[in-house]
Amino acid sequence: MRQSSLVVVANRLPLDDNAAPDGACEWRRSPGGLASALHAILQKTPATWVGWAGGVGPAPQLPDIGTLRLRPVALSEPELRGYYEGFANSTLWPLYHDAVEPPVFDRGWWETYRAVNRKFAEAAAEVAEPGAAIWVQDYHLQLVPQLLRELRPDLLIGFFMHVPFPPPELFMQLPRRVELMRGMLGADLVGFQRPQAAHNVAQLAAKLLGSEGADDAIPVDGRVVRTGAFPVSIDVAEMRTMSARPYVINQARQLRHDLGLHKRVLLSVDRLDYTKGIEHRLTAYSELLRDGRIKVRDTVMVQVAVPSRERVESYWGLRDRIEGEVGRINGEYGRVGEPAIHYLNQPFDRADLAALYQTADVMVVTPLRDGMNLVAKEYVAARPEDTGALVLSEFAGAADELDDAFQVNPHDVDGLKDTLLHAMNADPADLARRMAAMRKYITRHDILAWARDYLRALDHTGRLAAQVPKQRRRATLSTQQLGARR
């Protein structure tokens, strides 16, 4: 295995689950996904990505994707259950999202999580050249930084938490809280989406480890771990290029015709997850119809719910509840050939998402808790003109940056109803001002700026940051690969 000066370590490799007809590897992209965030950086930056390829059994042999080398980590069926479905997504995920769903504590899951984290650390240590930079991603691999430090003290180790990091009173519930803190603080730099997360970690380090420090510098074992907020973003140039493609423009025109040229279109695009606030959103929409404040003849909702974690038990009931509620709303308020809600529980490729974004008058992004939510930024980038309204939960990380959105507390159903009406009936001049301001912000703070900021903070020399392209070309091969070829 060749070694690299930059190694990304993440739960999943950025591969499509379905092989291309010619056998070539392609990027796997999903709404808000890590692969989407890092795609623009790594397609031109020589690096190795360590991750699970999906499925169980021996690791497959995978070719490179351009300059990116792939190092798959094999998982057995028991490892998948205990590490991924268990500790990562039934313990950490709900706890880190304000315990919207009660976390499950299982001692066996912890042992598997620790063993799998060691697998990832050993794989990363194997492919890293002397003095390399390792960029560990997210809550699945929270023990990897410290394990890497023990295996390879010569490495520069970064860790980035894409999900929220909980307040101390929630984190303290974890039976293995000290090990998790030490694991994460094995990094040289720990990055978060929002400043509050760094503050939470500083408080916990003092309480659990006796490490009194500042929000941006925590002394641990004779060294100083730096922390900070680095809000992740999107590839704005790619989304603009995608949105200008003839297929996308024609598809948006057809969707608009099919949904009703005279109707106001509300759109939500989420993974099917209990943190996304889908049920609260449906309740608000249903009550607006019930109270006659909107009519099916002039308003329609499109809810895309991309399947997610289908083997995790807590998601089964959620899917059933949402499907039942959509059926009830359509049964009570829909008309023949004119449903109140179009519900799509299926994956969407990038081109079709861009068409949906262009179709929507109001983009409704109302998670109960979210580290960032890149769909909100994609909507802004996909709009060719200063039209459209973004309704955004104040509990999404994106709310810190997109303060010209119509911000809302999604737990307050009455407030959500009023905000939806406000967005639907806003003055076009007000909408144009809001959209122009948000577009200007995300253009300046795109995915490349995020990577440069983080990598510059990681190594201080600018060497790593210099590997990130300064500017994206308007059209790239990757765009063609991602379902836009028609």
Q: Is 417 exposed, middle or buried (0-12, 13-18, 19+ CB in 10 A)?
A: buried
Q: Among all residues, which ones are annotated catalytic?
A: 162, 370
The interaxial angle of helices 144-151 and 107-127, nearest 10 deg, is 50
Handedness of CA 353, 358, 364, 366 (dihedral sign): positive
Sheet strand arrangement including 128-137: 68-72, 47-52, 4-12, 128-137, 156-160, 189-192, 223-229, 217-220
Task: Copy the structure tokens of residue 433.
Answer: 């001002």
β-bridge partners, 299? 264
Angle, helix 350-359 to helix 246-259, in steps of 10 degrees = 50
> Which residues have a Cβ under 8 Å from the Cβ of 425 and sit 6 or more positions away?
none
Q: In what order do the strands lie in the sheet with 264-271?
A: 341-344, 299-306, 264-271, 362-365, 389-393, 406-408
Where does residue 319 rank: exposed (0-12), middle (13-18), buried (19+ CB within 10 A)? middle
C-alpha distances in angstroms, 207 versus 142, 183, 219, 233? 19, 16, 13, 32
Q: Could you tell me which of 362, 335, 332, 341 has the C-alpha nearest to residue 423?
A: 362
DSSP SS3 for 326? helix
Helix (H) or strand (E) holding 336: none
Measured CA angle at 142 (ends 140, 143), to 5 deg: 120
**Residue pair 46/67 in contact by the 8 Å Cβ criterion:** yes
- Measured between alpha carbons, how far is 432 from 400 in angstroms, rounded to an integer? 20
